[in-house]
Structure 1
Amino acid sequence: MKIALCQINPTVGDLAGNCARILGRAHRAARDGARIAVFPELCVTGYPPMDLLDRPAFLQDVRDALNHLMAETPEGLAIIVGAPVENTTPHGKRLFNAAIVIERGRIVGQVSKTLLPTYDVFDEYRYFEPADERRVVEVAGLRLGLHVCEDMWNNEEQAPYHLYKANPIDELAAQGIDLFVNISASPYCVGKPEERAEIIAESCREHGVPFVYVNTVGANTELIFDGDSRVHNEAGEEVLRLSLWREDYAVWDTATQEASGGGRRDADTIAEIHDALVLGIRDYVRKTGEGVFEKALIGLSGGIDSAVTCALAAEALGPDRVVGVTMPSAYSSGGSVDDSRDLADNLGIEFHEVSIRPAVDAFHAMLNEPLAGPPSGVTEENIQARARGLTLMAISNAEGHLLLTTGNKSEMAVGYATLYGDMSGGLAVLSDVFKEQVYALARHINEREGREIVPENTITKPPSAELRPDQKDSDSLPPYEVLDEILLRYVERHESPQAIVAATGFDRATVERIARMVDRNEYKRRQAAPGLRISSKAFGIGRRLPIVMQRTRIAPDGETADVAPEAQAEAVGHAE
């Protein structure tokens, strides 16, 4: 029997467009002689639909969409699609997250998701009721262990701790099945494709059953879905693997184990991050709606972050749809302006130079009386950053461009960014990318193009906000290789400052200071633009910490102690 793997890119809320995608691939599968076509989790609505699921009119539209699919599915083909369906019992949440089997103009099978994640970026128990039983579905004579996304993730035999009590994989296998089928909307983060592959292979080896896995692809706001749909045989060996980062399609024959279509290029971590970010930008613009954002706008400082953001945008949208603006101040070096211009020339984008000195001078005059003198220190620095933000937002408003913010994860973590200044914008491209990774991305972009895109001077010069004379990032922060390691452990791995010092040998005072800066700047991140997620713990919807808090503990001697000694508010408000 031939089974088609249909890796599509749905848009949240676009029921008509999503159904058109599903039916287009369904008809192709029928022409190719497939008996079953498998689509991703919640592909009818797009993932995650969030509080759209609270709207009765939206749920009626979902029912109408399923009726349309039932009427238009090709004869002789069964399709497996993901959609929310009503819980008709008087108990529990109103909806199930379901895998639906449609054939001969009707629904012939339905399996609801058992394991509903509520960690990190997931909040499914907010909307869905978990299935209370695991049922095998028979389609075209095959007994399918059909399940949805998270339902396969509790089967790691080596895991020291299981998040859920139920193990749908084991329960389905115990009922006697011919094939596991998993439909997913599993977002990308570094290392996720390899982790998924091992979990699938392990399930196959444990139960001696082949496995078909179909994941969504594309980006919806912060979340980026890599695709990477696949088939493994009963020994756990990879038989078929679809592409990363794009819609793909393949047909697998259960009898001969032969596959047609599919394939992906091998990539290292930085290449994967590059491709993920390009997809994130492209889909943010495309899925927002036709004609909403014709172009992306980037403030170019001559620094590495704005250069990489601009290069990614040019690849995602095309150079003709990117506008760069450099905004020199009294402290900007001529090299920074030249580097910005060189970048624009290398990319072939529209470029403008707008001095902010008149605006800064005006603010100095305006504030002289209430401040009893001209602004100085961080206040003066932030005025410059906010003058740039105001300039960019004015252009964005007037021209309808999407303003991309350029701050990286290292800066956002410690507050090395200015509210209503360089943080102004609609999408934060690098907010989940550490500074050292940004440099690696710049080198990768140049290597990939076989020529200089990001100017060499931008890569090699010491990073600086250029908001005061001779300023360097190292004036306020430890070297980025040290900072990034501290942040990786503190933000992503949740290690305490004491554990970080013990593991790395870094200076205790430095580690504690960085931890304080991370915690004290939560209020800034809460007001930041949504950022593209590429790590296991990104700032944004997946990381929820209180803004107002004090961290103390009871010491072994019974005395009250600060968790971070000598804590004080960090007055960091710089831009790149």
Structure 2
Amino acid sequence: MTAFRPALRIALAQLNPIVGDIGFNLARARQARQQAAAENADIILFPELFLAGYSPEDLVLKPAFVTACRTACEDLARDTIDGGPAVLIGVPWLENGELYNAVALLDDGKLAGKSLKVDLPNYGVFDEKRVFATGPSPQPLIVRGVCIGVPICEDIWTPGPVAALKDAGAELLLVPNGSPYRRTVDAEREAIARARVNESGLPLVYLNQIGGQDELVFDGASFVLNSDGTRAVQMPAFREAMTIIEAQHTAQGWHVVPQTLVQLERDEQADYAACVLGLRDYVNKNRFPGVVLGLSGGVDSALVAAMAVDALGAERVHCVMLPFRYTSSESLNDAAACAKLLGVRYDILPIAPAVEGFEAALAPLFAGMQRDTTEENLQSRARGTILMAISNKFGAMVLTTGNKSEVGVGYATLYGDMNGGFNPLKDLYKTEVFKLCTLRNHWKPESAMGPDGMAIPERIITKVPTAELRENQTDQDSLPPYEVLDDILHALVEEELSLAAIVARGHDAQIVQKVQRLLYIAEYKRRQSAPGVKVTRQNFGRDRRYPITNGFRDTLEPNSK
């Protein structure tokens, strides 16, 4: 152990691991440590479970995986014999037959200590109690002569672990996190961190990972609060970064030297940036060469195309117009104009031969029957089949484009427009899709690879939405106005309100009952839908786990209007 120093230089490695790719994560940790050493850092801190990638879910139930993580940790420990920065890195840790979510302290060529997570989240998207054991009351680690508390993520969401660390002599809190993005989460994190600082009187370093992992997006946005509650450091959101902070020992304790604070994306900007990052990492981490999608001339596919170009670059995005007799010249022109603005490959493949072939094959069974949604769905399924064939032939992943409003009420065709490997809009309501289209035409994320300025023709945003599956069709033939539908769905899904409470907000009782019915009967479709980026508190997926077979329906009093 080196002698005590009146100041510590701490490298905060806000990085993007790949779940299960231990070799990549180890190499990335080594690279970051070398960079930290070049900047004379004493310590480098990595996010939660960095060597495994977060969240590893049931991967940690495989003994071979846990052993490989331990081996990587030991390899990294040997690197520290060089006298460079000590390492605090997250790793699944097997001890006495129990598996823990741990942070290992690596210094002087060996494992010099560890911290085990105490509070295991078991709500929403988290189910750590399924795979990890609860750690004992935490004790500080002595790092370069300083007594440092290392509570892990959820450990700061309740007072107990930090209080225990303070009582045991901790002078400074370094908190590795795997905290996924959702709206308002930055304010919640700050409130929680500020509460622990106020209670303990200790500076708190909040380091979060970034990157997409299946439906989750980790936004980074790491920060430092001093013991007086002031924000000393703010790191960027939605991109990798490494920041060196200097903590100085004063008569009043440790104090982090303030830096210029980075401005974070907020509201719609944050949602858009999250969707782009989630899409980019899903495609790249799963090693797809690019993506293909149907570009209909409508608002949803236009936004997905813009997100795809921002995420991957125009050369990796293939847009296909799949017209039928109901496709208007306006839609053809709008799709072509959008493709031109984005600079993507754009092909037109008429689907009439495929649809007519299906209808001919089914004619003996359907003889004498009226045409209905069955024939409409054949159009959607022909399009889905063609897109999947393009994917099979060229390797690009199909993007599906259904928004949360459509997914919520089943206004989508199973094995048709629901075909695809990923859906960037899955957790965005239709009204939010319009807002993001308008936003993208005057702003894009810093890391976006798409064009500056307009990316989506204005007419696509302003025209009446339609699936164009029959003559003169509009979405409002089947659905309430989207402003009404989205508010009702938000009340049912995110807020879990009763029908009576929703009607009391000013909605028509019959419409509310209809939306509830559509929401429940579409559960079987959603269970088969592509994953997509989570941006709300309650997404369709790991947040909302409703049974498919479900006889419950909320009811209204007979006199409800």
TM over 0.5: yes
1:126-205 maps to which residues of 2 (within 5 A)? Answer: 126-155=130-159, 167-205=160-198
Farther-moved stretch of structure 1 (491-500 vs 3-12) = 491-500
| 1:195 Cα deviation from its structure 2 partner | 1.2
- List per-residue Cα deviations over 1:321-359 (Å, max 9, x = no partner): 100001111111111111111000011100001111111
Out of 280, 283, 289, the position equivalent to 2:281 is 283
Please name the residue that 1:265 is paired with.
263
Q: In structure 2, what is the equivalent of residue 77 of structure 1?
A: 85
Match of 2:62 in 1: 55
Deviations 1:64-102 (A, max 9, x none): 10111111234142110001000315xxxx310001111
State the AA in 1 paired with 2:268. I
- Which amino acid in structure 2 is aligned with residue 334 of structure 1? S
CA distance in 2, matches of 1:263, 1:355: 53
Residue 38 (structure 1) aligned to one of 42, 45, 50: 45
- The aligned counterpart of 2:128 is 124
**Cα separation, partners in 2 of 1:44 and 1:471, compared to 1, 3 Å:** same
Q: Is the 8 A contact 1:7 1:39 kept in 2?
A: yes
Q: Is contact 1:249–1:262 with CA below 8 Å preserved after alignment?
A: no
Match of 2:487 among 472, 485, 488: 485
2:524 equivalent in structure 1: 523
Residue type of the alignment partner of 1:394: A
Q: What secondary structure is seen at the aligned counterpart in 2 of 1:41?
A: coil
User: Residue 441 of structure 2 aligns to a residue in which SS?
Assistant: helix
Distance 2:453 2:54 in 1: 38
Aligned to 1:557: none
Pick one of 2, 12, 36 that aligns with 1:5.
Answer: 12
The normalised TM-score by structure 1 is 0.90
Whether the 8 Å contact between 1:431 and 1:531 is mirrored in structure 2 is yes
**What is the CA–CA distance in structure 1 between the aligned matches of 2:354 and 2:557, rounded to whole Å?**
41
For the residue of structure 2 that corresponds to 1:368, the secondary structure is helix
Deviation, 1:535, is 1.1
Distance 1:70 1:260 in 2: 31
Contact 2:499 2:555 in 1 (8 A): no
1:395 is aligned, of 390, 403, 414, to: 390
Is residue 223 from structure 1 mapped to residue 216 from structure 2 by the alignment?
yes
Q: 1:385 aligns with which of 356, 380, 389?
A: 380
Amino acid at match of 1:169: V
- Residues 51-70 of structure 1 show CA distances to partners (whole Å, capped at 9, x for unaligned) of 22122221221121011111
Report SS of the residue matched to 2:453.
coil
Amino acid paired to 1:478: P
Give the Cα separation in 1 of the matches to 2:557 and 2:22.
Answer: 54
Task: Give the Cα separation in 1 of the matches to 2:24 and 2:428.
Answer: 32
**Residues 100-499 of structure 1 aligned to structure 2 (within 5 Å):** 100-155=104-159, 167-255=160-248, 257=255, 264-289=262-287, 293-373=288-368, 376-448=371-443, 451-499=453-501
Moved more, 137-146 or 443-452: 443-452
CA-to-aligned-CA distance 1:376-409 (integer Å, 9 cap, x gap): 2111111111010011011111111111000001
Q: Are 2:292 and 2:398, in contact at CA under 8 Å, matched by a contact in 1?
A: yes
Q: Please state how far the C-alpha of 1:116 moved relative to its aligned partner.
A: 1.1
Deviation at 1:451, TM superposition (A): 3.3
Report the TM-score when normalising by structure 2.
Answer: 0.93
Could you tell me which residue of structure 2 aligns to residue 17 of structure 1?
A: 24
State the shift of 1:261 in Å. Answer: 7.6
Q: Distance in 1 between matches of 2:556 and 2:397?
A: 40
**Per-residue displacement from partner, 1:441-474 (whole Å, max 9, x unpaired)?**
1011111266331111100001011111111111
TM superposition shift of 1:259: 5.1
Give secondary structure in 1 for the equivalent of 2:139. coil
Instruction: Report the Cα distance in structure 2 between the residues aligned to 1:520 and 1:177, rounded to whole angstroms.
Output: 54
| Mapped partners of 1:264, 1:18: distance in 2 | 26
Query: Which position in structure 1 is the counterpart of 2:543?
Result: 542
- Gap change, CA 1:518 and 1:564, over 3 Å in 2: farther
Aligned to 1:551: 552
Local SS of the residue matching 1:439: helix
Matched-pair contact (CA < 8 Å) for 1:492–1:537: yes
Deviations 1:282-335 (A, max 9, x none): 11111113xxx2121010111100000000000110011100001111111111
The 3-state SS of whatever aligns with 2:442 is helix
> Does the 8 Å contact 2:70/2:92 carry over to 1?
no
Aligned to 1:82, what secondary structure does the other structure show? strand
* Identical pairs, percent: 41
Residues 86 and 258 of structure 1: is their aligned pair in 2 closer, same or farther, counting only changes over 3 Å? closer
Are 1:147 and 1:181, in contact at CA under 8 Å, matched by a contact in 2?
yes
Match of 2:3 in 1: none
With over 3 angstroms needed to count, the CA separation of the structure-2 counterparts of 1:265 and 1:75, relative to structure 1, is same
Conserved in 1, the CA contact under 8 Å of 2:178 and 2:218?
A: yes
Deviation at 1:479, TM superposition (A): 1.2
Counterpart residue number, 1:512 = 513
SS in structure 2 at match of 1:147: coil
Shift in alpha-carbon separation, 1:302–1:374, aligned structure 2, 3 A: farther
Aligned-pair CA distance for 1:173: 2.3
Mapped to 2, the partners of 1:491 and 1:511 lie a distance apart of 13
Matched, 1:88 2:96: yes
Report the CA distance between 1:31 and its aligned residue.
2.1
Tell me the distance in 2 between the aligned counterparts of 1:33 and 1:260: 18
Q: Tell me, in whole angstroms, the C-alpha distance in 2 between the residues paired with 1:171 and 1:378.
A: 63
1:314–1:33: structure 2 CA closer, same or farther, 3 Å change rule?
same
Quick one: which amino acid aligns to residue 54 of structure 1? L
Deviation of the 1:565 alpha carbon? 9.1
| 1:275 shift after superposition | 0.8
- Conserved? CA contact 2:376–2:469, under 8 Å: yes
Q: Is the 8 A contact 1:243 1:262 kept in 2?
A: no
CA distance in 1, matches of 2:51, 2:370: 55
Cα 1:375–1:96, aligned 2, differ >3 Å: closer, same or farther? farther
- Secondary structure (helix, strand or coil) at the match of 1:482 reads helix
Equivalent pair of 1:53/1:59 in contact (CA under 8 Å): yes
* C-alpha contact 1:364 1:375 (8 A) present in aligned 2: no
Partner Cα distance (2:462, 2:472) in 1: 16
8 Å CA contact retained: 2:42, 2:84: yes
State the Cα distance separating 1:509 from its structure 2 match.
Answer: 1.4
CA shift for structure 1 position 135: 1.5
Matched residues in 2 for 1:450 and 1:2: separation? 38
Structure 1's 373 and 429: CA in aligned 2 closer, same or farther, altered over 3 A? Answer: farther
Q: Which SS does the other structure have where 1:255 is aligned?
A: strand
Contact 1:551 1:564 survives alignment (8 Å) = no
Aligned counterparts of 1:148 and 1:564: Cα–Cα separation in 2 = 46
Instruction: Show structure 1 runs of 5+ residues with no match.
Output: 156-166, 553-561, 567-576
Does the CA-based 8 Å contact 2:221-2:264 persist in structure 1?
A: no
Residue 250 of structure 1 contacts residue 259 of structure 1 at CA under 8 Å; is this kept in 2?
A: no
Structure 2 CA distance for aligned equivalents of residues 563 and 47 of structure 1:
41
**Contact 1:137 / 1:144 at 8 angstroms: preserved in 2?**
yes
Could you tell me how far apart the structure 2 residues matched to 1:259 and 1:233 are? 9
Q: Is the 8 A contact 1:300 1:324 kept in 2?
A: yes
The amino acid that maps onto 2:468 is E
Deviation at 1:526, TM superposition (A): 0.2
Partner secondary structure for residue 364 of structure 2: coil
